[in-house]
Amino acid sequence: MKTKAQGNSALSFILLIAGIVLLVAALAMDVMGTKFAGRGAMLIFGIIAFFAGLYLIPTMKHHRKIVYFIFLFPLLFTFAVTVIIPLVLGIGYSFTDWTGVKITKFVGLANYMSMFKDPAFIYSILITFVFVIINMVLINVIGFCLALLCTSSIKASGFFRAAYFLPNLIGGIVLGYIWQFVFNNVLIGMTNHISLLSQSKTALLCIVVVYLWQYGGYIMLIYITGLTQVPGDVLEAANIDGATPMQTLFQIKIPMIASTITICTFLTLTSAFKQFDVNMALTNGAGSVPNFMGAYLSNGTQMLALNIYNTAIAKNSYAVGQAKAVLFFIILAVVSLIQVRISNSKEVEL
Amino acid sequence: MSQTKRSRTIILTIIGIIIAVYILFPFYLVVLNSFKKQTDIVASPIAWLGASFSQFVSNVSSVVGNSNFNFWTALGSSTCITVVSLILLALFGSMAAWVISRNNKKAWATVIYMIFIASMIIPFQVVMLPLISTFRDVGNFIGIPMLKSIPGAIFAYCGFGGAMTVFILTGFIKGVPYDLEEAAAIDGCSPEGTFFKVILPLLTPVITTVTILNGMWIWNDYLLPSLMLGNNSKYKTLPVAVQAFVGSYVKQWDLILTAALLAILPMIIIFLIAQKQIMEGMVEGAVKG
């Protein structure tokens, strides 16, 4: 028993030392600019050896804490590197003349000022809000109606649920191209050989239709779950009291699924707001607007997320793109806070 | 009464069928037109005229071998990134969630949990640009490429999927009785042993839910792989490959629709196999998230 503990502590000690040596050596090479190809592997083996050593430290008292640390580390590390650090850097970069590679000076609010003077960006914000509101209402109403249909006395309701949900399985890029084909080649016969995608206004409607098609089935599934949780005896009681189907719907079902409605509203709101893939694949933001704030615009269907992407990647102005992204984040955060407020107050009422 | 009830059922079923036809029609068009030549598609995209199996085989072979699409490589990258990310997210996520929920009275655990929850509102757009520059710099610094590399993409997905995974898993673990762990500890089981032997097996249903949610998102994601892996690299995922392919074959609908069909097929097959789990998982994730 004693020898085993000693063996463990020796092994733990060796691993800890080896891990630290490898880590320090690899980092030293990085700092000094040595282009030794194995330095990445050294770093990884160093980390692994360090953790193995840490794990084998022969202590009963602190073992639990060490395990907690080792268990938390992988996710916290990846999370910090991919979310927290870029978020902090990104907010900082939005106040500089960042080019994606280097920063030469601090420019204060100049990026923010320039984006609000850009009619194309203001236009993107406006159509994004219009799109979000139309979508939120339509998807919820249609999703709810589909859910009522699927929970009614309909035959083969399992098939219908799966069929309506099917478009949600497919990513927006592929969907966008499929619908581009539908609008440009199939429906064109019904629209006097002018593609619906060629006019800004109808193209926006097309995006709404495609988005509805993609998302309606998903929202329907959530409403179905809500509706099936309405207790059967309540509905039965209403039936015995002679309530019409309409009364049952508006005075029993809808009030009883208020929390589901909040969830779906929020879900459609944020996802429509972040909409990018369908927008890119279907129109790529193209479309002419003859006169908006005294300017001619060529981004008639470009929503906010796509505008940010195009500003940074296509036009290569990273700092302005980043400033727009920060504004995007603020809007989303405000919307989320409002939603949390509303759902909390609803819960108190119930 | 039963007569009106039956006629109501029939009317509802007919409405259901009409909606189903509308929803499934684009899929039908994709399948139909990938069996046709470009000239036949242009002549009439809804007619059966010109559709033949030999044409489908020739479309598929020209798409699969295309250097912009590289179907098998793209399928391989997509599968590799999705599967490895899902395994790591499930493992690391449940490890972290367990630690957080077992220390929920301590300040540090609460702070970590709050940061995770708050981070769920962060849109990808606000971090994507600095993410790329950070990954490029880190990659250059440590000598392991983080951009245009599959491990880099997996690393990023573990970071982005972490918050939602921990949130859902923590909610579940809080409901697992602590007595179970105490009993294991009395029997001489170490904390890590307790986690792997007692807790992890109990998490199977909720891990299924997060895996479905994360899987749908990672498999279909476009922006992250297109920025991190590049549109021209050999590591493109399927959505990026479709985009690159369409960009190089504008209006070649016979090839584009065949490519789209190939890209959606894996997901449809998985859906047909695990339809119930996927639909339940998506709903549970939404209700809890």
Looking at per-residue pLDDT, the higher value among A264 and A62 belongs to A264
Q: B-chain residues within 8 Å CB-CB of A44?
A: 144
Total domains, chain A: 2
Name which of B282, B146, B208, B209 is nearest A78 in CA terms.
B146
Tell me, rounded to whole angstroms, the distance of Cα B136 from its chain centroid.
25
Each residue's pLDDT tens digit, B101-115: 988 888 999 999 999
Name which of A330, B134, B106 is nearest B114 in CA terms.
B106
Angle between helices B238-248 and B71-102 (to 10 degrees): 150
- Alpha-carbon radius of gyration of chain A: 28
C-alpha dihedral, A311 to A176 to A140 to B276, nearest 10°: -120
Q: Is the same domain home to A149 and A272?
A: yes
What tokens were used for B1?
């009464």
What tokens were used for B198?
């007692």
Q: A-chain residues within 8 Å CB-CB of B155?
A: 78, 81-82
The answer to whether A250 contacts chain B (CB < 8 Å) is no
Q: Which of A45, A78, A109 marks a domain boundary?
A: A109
Contacts of A98 (CB under 8 A, 6+ apart): A318, A319, A322
Q: Which of A109, A124, A147 marks a domain boundary?
A: A109
Q: A-chain residues within 8 Å CB-CB of B268?
A: 166, 169
Nearest to A86 among B127, B271, B279 (CB): B127
Each residue's pLDDT tens digit, A219-228: 999 999 999 8
Give me chain B's average pLDDT, please.
Answer: 88
How much is the pTM?
0.89
Q: Is the same domain home to A89 and A124?
A: no
Q: B-chain residues within 8 Å CB-CB of A149?
A: 12, 15-16, 19
Q: What is the pLDDT of residue B206?
A: 92
- Contact across the interface for B99 and A72, Cβ inside 8 Å: yes
- Contact across the interface for B125 and A308, Cβ inside 8 Å: yes
pLDDT band at A347; cut points 50, 70, 90? low
Q: Which domain holds residue A160?
A: 113-349
Name which of B152, B252, B226, B127 is nearest A173 in CA terms.
B226
DSSP A61: S
Rounded CA gap, B212 and B285, in Å?
9
- Whether residue A89 contacts residue B130, with contact meaning beta carbons closer than 8 Å, is answered with yes
- Contact across the interface for B126 and A74, Cβ inside 8 Å: no
- Contact across the interface for B24 and A186, Cβ inside 8 Å: no
The answer to whether A181 contacts chain B (CB < 8 Å) is yes
Q: B-chain residues within 8 Å CB-CB of A168?
A: 282
Compute the average pLDDT of residues B62-70.
85
Q: Is the same domain home to A64 and A152?
A: no
Q: What is the pLDDT of residue A164?
A: 94
pLDDT band at B185; cut points 50, 70, 90? confident
Each residue's pLDDT tens digit, A55-66: 887 777 788 888
- Contact across the interface for A68 and B99, Cβ inside 8 Å: yes
pLDDT band at B190; cut points 50, 70, 90? confident
Q: Which residues does residue A297 pair with via DSSP β-bridges, in sequence order?
A: A289
Q: Is the same domain home to A205 and A326?
A: yes
Q: Is the same domain home to A99 and A205?
A: no
Q: Is the same domain home to A142 and A26?
A: no
Q: Is the same domain home to A59 and A95?
A: yes
The C-alpha of A40 sits at a distance from chain B's nearest C-alpha, in angstroms, of 5
Q: Is the same domain home to A95 and A240?
A: no
Whether A325 shows a pLDDT value over 90: the answer reads: yes
Each residue's pLDDT tens digit, A152-203: 888 888 899 999 999 999 988 999 999 999 988 888 777 666 777 888 888 9
Q: What is the pLDDT of residue B223?
A: 92
Q: A-chain residues within 8 Å CB-CB of B115?
A: 84
Q: Is the same domain home to A60 and A128?
A: no
Name which of B228, B130, B119, B136 is nearest A89 in CA terms.
B130
Give the best-scoring range by mean pLDDT among A1-10, A88-97, A98-107.
A88-97
pLDDT band at A4; cut points 50, 70, 90? low
Q: Is the same domain home to A323 and A189?
A: yes
3-class SS letters over chain B: CHHHHHHHHHHHHHHHHHHHHHHHHHHHHHHHHCCCCHHHHHHCCCCCCCCCHHHHHHHHHHHHCCCCCCHHHHHHHHHHHHHHHHHHHHHHHHHHHHHHHHCCCCHHHHHHHHHHHHHCCCCHHHHHHHHHHHHHHHHHHHCCCCCCCHHHHHHHHHHHHHHHHHHHHHHHHCCCCHHHHHHHHHCCCCHHHHHHHHHHHHCHHHHHHHHHHHHHHHHHCCHHHHHHCCCCCCCCCHHHHHHHHHHHCCCCHHHHHHHHHHHHHHHHHHHHHCHHHHHHHHHHHHHHC
Task: Report ipTM for this prediction.
Answer: 0.90
- Whether residue A326 contacts residue B126, with contact meaning beta carbons closer than 8 Å, is answered with yes
Q: What is the pLDDT of residue B188?
A: 81
Each residue's pLDDT tens digit, B243-282: 888 888 777 888 899 999 999 999 999 999 988 889 888 8
Q: Is the same domain home to A151 and A69?
A: no
CATH of the domain at A181: 1.10.3720.10
**Closest Cα in chain A to B145:** A40
3-state SS assignment for residue A289: strand
The answer to whether A82 contacts chain B (CB < 8 Å) is yes
Q: Is the same domain home to A189 and A283?
A: yes
Q: Which of A75, A109, A143 marks a domain boundary?
A: A109
Whether A308 shows a pLDDT value over 90: the answer reads: yes
Nearest to A174 among B88, B160, B264 (CB): B264
pLDDT band at A1; cut points 50, 70, 90? very low
Cite the beta strand spans of chain A per DSSP E.
289-292, 295-297
Nearest to A74 among B92, B133, B222 (CB): B92
Each residue's pLDDT tens digit, B202-239: 999 999 999 999 999 999 999 999 999 887 778 889 99
Tell me, rounded to whole angstroms, the distance of Cα B80 from its chain centroid.
12
- Whether residue A281 contacts residue A172, with contact meaning beta carbons closer than 8 Å, is answered with yes
Each residue's pLDDT tens digit, A98-152: 888 888 888 888 889 988 888 899 999 999 999 999 999 999 999 999 999 998 8
